[in-house]
Structure formats: structure tokens, C-alpha cells
Structure 1
Amino acid sequence: MEVVLKKMGNSTALVMPPPVLKDLSIGVGQHLSLHTTADGKIVLTPKRKFNLTDMIAQCDLKAPPPADLALWDVAKPVGGEVL
């Protein structure tokens, strides 16, 4: 399938035919990440919608905090911090 880049204002747009949108399960208003590979390929990835419950479910709540985080507890104010 051949597509043509078109000028839209100060941008260039790629019009994607409906069968391609259907195959990729994407549509108008979908947010995508666009990356290129070293060999010149374009990679489109649908942006994931995150929610706090799913993100917390991936965490080990019993894991110890990072060692460098303890430094915050003993750090002295250096600017206009509210104490």
C-alpha cells in the first residue's frame, strides 16, 4: 500500500487508510509514541494509560527504600524550604 505525505499548516501529515487503522486497532484521537530505528523504520506504539492501582500492584511494598533516600532525612535546608 502506498501513502503520500501531505502538508497541513506548518506540519507534514501521513494519511492512514481505514484498513491500516483497523489492523493496528487505532483511530482518530489516539495518542501514539513515534520512534525511528537505525535502519530507517518507523515504529508507532500506542501510549499506555496508567492508573495508580495498577502501578502500585507492580511494586514490592516490603522492599527497603533506596539507600540514597535516607540522605534526605538528614539533609539540612539549603534555600527557602518550609520547615
Structure 2
Amino acid sequence: MEISIQKWGNSAAVRLSATLLEQLGVALGDKLEVEVLPEGVMLRPARHRYALADLIAQCDPKAPLPGDAEAWNNRAPAGHEIW
């Protein structure tokens, strides 16, 4: 597949076809990681990097514990656990 570089304001841009977006598994608004290699440029879907604070912010501290958590909390030590 061959695509061309075009002027976009004061920058340059390439357009990715719907077929290419589908093959990459991305959609409009998604982010791509760009890596410059000796052979050329590699584009791959960017992985979302989670911060611990963001994950904790999604937790509901008032949510009930799962049913098996109570049994786990009441179990006798099985090894050399420190209490």
C-alpha cells in the first residue's frame, strides 16, 4: 500500500484509509505509537498506561466484598505468615 505525504497547515500529514485503520484495530481519535527504525517508521496502537491513583479513583470503597473474600480473611495461617 502506498500513501502520500500532504500539507496540513504548517505541518505534513498522511491519511490512513478505513481499511488500514481496521487492520490496525484503531479508530478515529485513538492514539498511535510511532517508532523510527532503520527500515522506516512503525505505527502501532498506543497502549493505555494506567496510574495507580487513576485505578484507585475508580474503586467504590463502599462496595461489598466478594463472597469468597470473607472466607479468605477468616482462614488460619497456612505457612509462616506474619500477623
TM-score by length of 2: 0.54
Partner of 2:43: 44
Instruction: Give the total of aligned pairs.
Output: 52
Following the alignment from structure 2 to structure 1, what is the Cα–Cα distance between the partners of residues 5 and 27?
18
Following the alignment from structure 2 to structure 1, what is the Cα–Cα distance between the partners of residues 48 and 13?
25
Q: Deviations over 1:26-76 (max 9, x none)?
A: 12111112111112x2111222112225xxxxxxxxxxxxxxxxxxxxxxx
Which residue type is aligned with residue 46 of structure 1?
A: P
Correspondence 1:1-80 to 2 at 5 A: 1-39=1-39, 41-51=40-50, 52=52
TM-score by length of 1: 0.54
Which residue type is aligned with residue 17 of structure 1?
A: S
Aligned partners of 2:24 and 2:44 also within 8 Å: no
Identity percentage over the alignment? 29
- Structure showing greater radius of gyration is 2
Aligned-residue CA RMSD (Å): 1.4
Partner of 1:77: none
Superposition misfits of 4+ residues, deviation over 2 angstroms: 50-53
Structure 2 SS opposite 1:28: coil
